[in-house]
Structure 1
C-alpha cells in the first residue's frame, strides 16, 4: 500500500459518514468567508474608504480574523484532501487552486514586507486588487474541483 493510499484509508470515515464531508465543507466555507470578508474590508481602507478609521487598529482586527478564517479553511481543506488525495492530486482545478494559494501567500508577504499598510500608495492599491483577484480565483477553482 502506497503512503498516500494509507493516509486516505485512515481518513476514510470522512468519505463514508453521511455528514462528515459536508460538515467539513461548511467549515471550509465559513473560513473562506472570514478570510475574504475581512481582507476586502482592509483592502477598501487601503483604497481610502473609511478614512476616519485608523489603519493600524483596523488591520489588527481584520488580520486576526483573516488568520482565523485561513486556519479554518486550511485545516478543513487538509482533512478533505487526505480523504481523497489520489483524486485531487490529478485534478487540474485543485492543482490550480494550490498554485493560486501559493501566489496569494507571496503577494501577502510582499504587501507586508514592503510596509504597504503604512505607505498606502499606488503599489499597495495594486497589491490589494491583486489579492482580491487571486482569492476570487482560488474560490472559483475550489468550486470547479467537483466538476473537472
Structure 2
C-alpha cells in the first residue's frame, strides 16, 4: 500500500536545513527520554540509595514524557516526509516494534506498582526497558543505511 505524497512533507525531506533540524530535535528527545530513564533505572538497581526512589521518579517522569513527546512528534514528521520509504525499511519497522514493546513494558511497570515494590522483577523490567530503548536507537541509526 502506497501512501499519497503530501507536498509540504515531501519538500521537508529535501530541504537543506529543515530535515536535519528535525533529526536534531529527534535526538534531543531521545537524550531526554533515555537520560531520565537511566537515572531512575540506576536507582532501582541500587545506585544512589540516599536518593528517595519515588522523589527521583517524580522528577524524572515529566522529563521522560517531554522527551517521548519530542521523539514522537519529530518521528511522525520524519515519517510523513518519506512514508513509503520508511514502510519498506526493515530497520524502521523493527524500531516501531521495539518502541511499542518499550511502551508496553513501561505501562506494565507503572500498573504493577514496580516503583513501590522495587523487587527483582522491577529490576528485570528496567533492564528490559534499557535494552529495548537502546535497540530502538540502534535501529534508528540503521534506517539511513537500509
TM-score range, shorter chain: over 0.9
2:23 corresponds in structure 1 to: 25
Of 110, 115, 118, the residue aligned with 2:116 is 118
Distance 2:137 2:2 in 1: 29
Q: Secondary structure of 1:107's partner?
A: helix
| Aligned counterparts of 1:135 and 1:57: Cα–Cα separation in 2 | 23
Q: What's the TM-score, normalizing by structure 2?
A: 0.96
8 Å CA contact 1:94–1:145 kept in 2: the answer is: yes
C-alpha distance in 2, partners of 1:51/1:16?
49
CA RMSD, Structure 1 to Structure 2 (Å): 1.3
The alpha carbon displacement at 1:3 in A equals 7.6
The answer to whether the aligner puts 1:6 opposite 2:33 as a matched pair is: no
Match of 1:58 in 2: 56
Deviation readout 1:28-69 (Å, 9 max, x if unpaired): 000000000110000001011111111121101111100000
TM-superposition CA deviations, 1:40-99 (whole Å, max 9, x none): 000001011111111121101111100000001111110000000000001000000000
Tell me whether 1:131 sits opposite 2:129 in the alignment: yes
- Segments ≥4 residues shifted beyond 3 Å: none
1:94 corresponds in structure 2 to 92
Q: CA deviation at 1:6?
A: 3.4
Q: Which residue of 1 aligns with 2:41?
A: 43
Structure 1 segments unaligned to the other structure (5+ residues): none
The TM-score normalised by the length of structure 1 is 0.95
> What runs of 5+ residues in structure 2 fail to find an aligned partner?
none
